[in-house]
Chains A and B, each alone.
Chain A
Amino acid sequence: MTVVPAKAAPLLIVDDLAVRFPVPRAGGWLAQRQGEVRAVDGVSFSVAKGETLGLVGESGCGKSTTGRAVLQLLRPAAGKVIFDGEPIHEYWRRQGGRWVWESRLRDLRKRLQMIFQDPFASLNPRMTVEAILAEPLRNFGIAAGSQRRERIQQLLQTVGMDPRAIRRYPHEFSGGQRQRIGIARALALGPDLIVADEPISALDVSIQAQIINLLADLRERLGLTLIFIAHDLAAVRHISDRIAVMYLGRIVEMAPAQTIIDQPRHPYTQALISAVPLPDPARERSRQRTILTGELPSPVSPPSGCPFHTRCPLREERCRHDVPVLQQITPGHQVACHLVE
């Protein structure tokens, strides 16, 4: 596998990204929209061309929302998303009270793609495999007739599927095969950046490795830049060059993949790593565990100060009041914690 040169120009720069969702309060028939969830708050990172960034965290930490906001499938409430030098977060306009894409943002779909978590929900059950894979090509008028079919069959071969299967429907395939179709669809327009949102968590154990290997192969072969989102730290570490750990909408630690595992500095990262079960009875039973107490706070009313202080075994008084900022402690290793100097 290639090691990404540290000085490669970033393909994607995310700066102080925030996404907020309105929370409708129960009420009359014209429910007033009050309150909001800060699903993502002050997230910054960059991804170099050909690099894979892993985003890990538990449910509700904002990792999927971050992925969608990067692709502009959600409009960020604040912050910048610069893709290949273009400030794509600005490529929106208001139309009839709603925010819609400008045409140049629609054109960027060719370069920005997504792989979804649930291979059952992400494929239209009424469409054949051919119609599913033809959709992106049709949208941009790429290839037609027999050429289009050839292209579709090539795509299927690329993801390790039988190209004769184009007349079949999603429900005729297993989860792993559907995920391959989803990957083929994301590849159809020849993208540069793919956000893979929990692409393996709905799959069987023996199939997960197949899909991870496929993504790794495609990345090498097609020179893709990947943002790999998952809750499974072991899988993320396996495919990523760098890992960002998220908690309650913020990045709490970011470092090269091996550094995160070997030298986690944030107490949450440490707890997360110690909670990953090892398939090795002797080591699993002998290792020192940090078991967190308590539950994930609701993102509707996040705690003051450090978002992790309610569960942190090392919390101090200042953690309740001051929000720690993400600071570089060694080159390439950033942590947001008051206790790490």
Chain B
Amino acid sequence: MATTTDTVLEVCDLRTHFHTDDGLVKAVDGVSFSVRRGETLGLVGESGSGKSVACLSALRLVPTPPAAHPSGVIRFAGKDLLTLPERDLERLRGNRLAMIFQDPLTALNPYLSVGRQLTEVLEVHEGATPAAARRAAIEMLTRVGIPAAGQRIDQYPHQFSGGMRQRVMIAMALLCGPEVLFADEPTTALDVTIQAQILDLIGELQASLGTAVVLVTHDLGVVAGTADRVAVMYAGRIVEEGTTAEVFANPLHPYTQGLLASMPRIDTPSRQRLAAIPGLPPDLGQLPSGCPFHPRCQQAGDRCRQAYPEVVIASPTHRAACWETEAVS
């Protein structure tokens, strides 16, 4: 993908490996992607696909050990985040690079009031005075849709409901107007009606602040509604990447095809048999040879068992790593 001037974050050949009792686990193994200003990239995959680890690695938040230091290059604001001194990185995290997590209750400090946690961000990163920080925090809480923010700012995380806590997390993440927001399964723990509210909120704020969003999720439905581009991950690698329209209309990789076909949906005839993907996601400690998807793939041939597939390019924006798909595209 051509790097344009708009690109705010570029991840090249990121690898994060863990040393465990069961041997070397390649959680992220050569992942590259980029996001442009105001764009949303959907990073899709199942548990163990490496999507969350990839995000955490990009911010160098994976604990080492057990993980080895991630390798590759992560370009942001003319610097490589992977070689940046920890102190410089801390200045970027929470300020120009923000992250929201699946479970806001564990991500917020239970012993500090919401206001303290919000104003701290501003005071540390922007040198705001306490009074100004408090004003800004109340304004942001109001903006993310927390009623009576002036009073609720002094409450503690457990006094908020799940949806409200996620709003607090978003307020905290967006307080300094970050250029990139990593959202790791931000709505998975929430009910669907609340999920719709939160996704709308992220979209609105993104449009007004021009933030680039990396949305990590397992839900293709969420991606369809919010992402501009999609990267599908399997066994630590991106197996398909393209604009959302391209990937959903013409999925190249058999795994993407399988995921789309296996989803029960409300807009298709009822009680059809689901086209399930057979087998199980692989154990990252002992990946099969060649393409890691081949044991579950109905189109797999001899080449798939021997070597990792080369990239098939369907359009300047759409590509997949599969031996068997070139005939299709």
- Cα A296 to Cα B190 with chains together (Å): 11
Interface residues of A (CB under 8 A from B): 1, 58-59, 174, 176-177, 204-210, 212-213, 216, 231-235, 237-239, 257-258, 261, 271-285, 289, 291-293, 295-296
Q: A174-B281, A210-B278 are in contact. List 7 more A-B contacts (CB 8 A).
A: A58-B192, A206-B277, A209-B264, A209-B276, A233-B266, A275-B195, A285-B225
Establish whether residues B193 and A279, one from each chain, have CB atoms under 8 Å apart when the complex forms: no
Indicate whether B326 reaches chain A with its CB closer than 8 angstroms: no
**Most A Cβ at <10 Å: residue of B161, B266, B274:** B266
Residues of B within 8 Å of A58, CB to CB, are: 191-194
Establish whether residues B196 and A289, one from each chain, have CB atoms under 8 Å apart when the complex forms: yes
Indicate whether B262 reaches chain A with its CB closer than 8 angstroms: yes
- Cα A240 to Cα B155 with chains together (Å): 43
Residues of A within 8 Å of B218, CB to CB, are: 204-205
Say how far B41's CB is from chain A's closest CB, in angstroms: 14
Q: A295 touches which one: B194, B248, B281 (CB < 8 A)?
A: B194
Indicate whether B176 reaches chain A with its CB closer than 8 angstroms: no
Establish whether residues A234 and B192, one from each chain, have CB atoms under 8 Å apart when the complex forms: no
Q: Could you tell me the dominant secondary structure of chain A's interface residues?
A: helix
Say how far B294's CB is from chain A's closest CB, in angstroms: 15
Indicate whether B143 reaches chain A with its CB closer than 8 angstroms: no
Establish whether residues A276 and B46, one from each chain, have CB atoms under 8 Å apart when the complex forms: no
Residues of B within 8 Å of A283, CB to CB, are: 267
- Cα A322 to Cα B58 with chains together (Å): 54
Establish whether residues B192 and A231, one from each chain, have CB atoms under 8 Å apart when the complex forms: yes
Answer whether A277 and B224 are a contact pair too, CB < 8 Å, given A58-B193, A295-B163.
yes
Indicate whether B68 reaches chain A with its CB closer than 8 angstroms: no
Establish whether residues A212 and B274, one from each chain, have CB atoms under 8 Å apart when the complex forms: yes
- Cα A341 to Cα B188 with chains together (Å): 37
Establish whether residues A234 and B263, one from each chain, have CB atoms under 8 Å apart when the complex forms: yes
Q: Which of B207-232 contact A (CB under 8 A)?
A: 218-225
- Cα A176 to Cα B73 with chains together (Å): 36
- Cα A205 to Cα B259 with chains together (Å): 7
Establish whether residues A278 and B266, one from each chain, have CB atoms under 8 Å apart when the complex forms: yes
Indicate whether B245 reaches chain A with its CB closer than 8 angstroms: yes
- Cα A211 to Cα B281 with chains together (Å): 15
Identify the closest chain B residue to A257 (Cβ).
B270
- Cα A160 to Cα B106 with chains together (Å): 38
Establish whether residues B277 and A209, one from each chain, have CB atoms under 8 Å apart when the complex forms: yes
